[in-house]
Amino acid sequence: MKKMNNIVLISAATILGFAACKGPGQKGAPVIPPTPVNVIAATEAPAVYYDKYPATVVALNQVELRSQVSGFITGIFFKEGEIVQKGKVLYEIDRRKYEAAYLQAQANVASSRASFERAKKDDDRYQRLADQDAVARQIVDNAKATLETSRSQLAAAEANLAAVRTDLDYSLIKAPFTGRIGISQVKLGAQVSPGSTLLNSISSENPIAVDFVVNENDIARFAALQGNAATSDSTFRLQLSNGAEYTHGGKILAIDRGVDNQTGTIRVRIEFNNPDDQLKDGMSCVLRVLNDQSGHRLVIPYKAITEQMGEYFVFVAGDSTATQKKVHLGPKIGDRIVIMDGIQSGEKVIVEGFQRLRDGGKIQIGIPAAPQDAAAKK
């Protein structure tokens, strides 16, 4: 019984202790103090931003030089890596047999032409005699047949002359257009075969192009850019593989004829001037395309964003409470983020202290965060 009295006394003392902790008139759970926060006003600012696409530099004209006749290389008339002009002789293949064939073909043409002229005169002579009924009809017919045979032989000889002249021309490999030639794949004295031996490659450099692929949903966007004569030099910008910005702007040269049914993408080609030969065929780069939503947009510090289950929220400060609002994000620009919708310009966004907040939580606004520069460009 004495032990039970002790328990009762301890419980009473505990109740008195809790009661002593409460101020006069206080009831229920202890009051949680407001959370100190810093805020910044959501403002509209110039927001210029680009969509990025991996891209590859491609020459507008590029060809592999291959021989169309067989023989040995007897001459190389260029310096590797230099610009060669259209029509310049680059390689010579041993021409002796082709020159001999050409001379023989010329002689055959001369012989066939002489036979044709003789047959033509005979035909005219027999035709006059036939008109006077002074020659047998069979002789006239034979003369006409001989004339037609001679005519065909002359045509065949002329065709052969054209063929051997072509082979003679092919023994000199010439630049098909003005461009930069690569490193020779053959040396003097090397034997080449028609169509199979690669001699060299040549490609144009200025202008040059950049290829990239876009989703089929973006076809209308790029088709509009292609037809827009007012497209500025800032619409298409190029970032090189070393991070440097290419100084010249580009324009759409072509959109491919169809969509790849396996990837759902289509290839677009952008043309760039390349006066300083900075862009090389095959280079990797990043093409930046000006987003058509660039302009004055609502921007806030990126650190004010919280993510929950793939959705994004910010806390907006009222007089004494914080309200959590769902927002849709645009691109990130430096340390700020574009807000497409969810809050209004002028609303006070909590940038510090929101980690301990819940929707409707009490807040105490401290010193507002220093406003950031209004201009944001990327």
Q: What is the pLDDT of residue 376?
A: 45
pLDDT of residue 94: 92
The whole-number pLDDT of residue 107 equals 92
pLDDT score, position 174: 93
pLDDT for res 21 = 47
| pLDDT value of position 173 | 92
In 3-state terms the chain splits into helix, strand, coil percentages (rounded to 5) of 30, 35, 35
Neighbours of 286 (CB within 10 A): 17
Concatenate the DSSP letters of all residues of 175-227 into one string.
Answer: -SSSEEE---S--TT-EE-TTT-EEEEEE--SSEEEEEEEEGGGHHHHHHHHH
Helices and strands in the chain, H and E counts: 4, 24
Q: Identify the three-state secondary structure at position 162.
A: helix
Q: What is the pLDDT of residue 378?
A: 46
Helices (H), the chain: 2-21, 96-131, 137-170, 219-227
Which pLDDT score, from 0 to 100, does residue 31 have?
A: 67
All residue ranges of the chain with pLDDT < 50 are 1-25, 374-378
Let me know: does 264 contact 6? Beta carbons within 8 Å: no
* DSSP β-ladder status, 172-174 and 348-352: unpaired
Other C-beta atoms closer than 10 Å to the C-beta of 123 total: 19
What is residue 171's DSSP assignment? T
For residue 103, CA distances in Å to 106, 111, 113 come to: 5, 12, 15
Integer Cα distance of 353 and 34 in angstroms: 11
Q: Residue 201: what pLDDT?
A: 93
Extract the tokens encoding 353: 């202290």
Q: How far apart are CA 364 and CA 321, in angstroms?
A: 8
pTM for the whole structure: 0.61
Read off the amino acid at residue 18.
F
- Cβ-based burial of 57 (10 A; exposed 0-12, middle 13-18, buried ≥19): buried
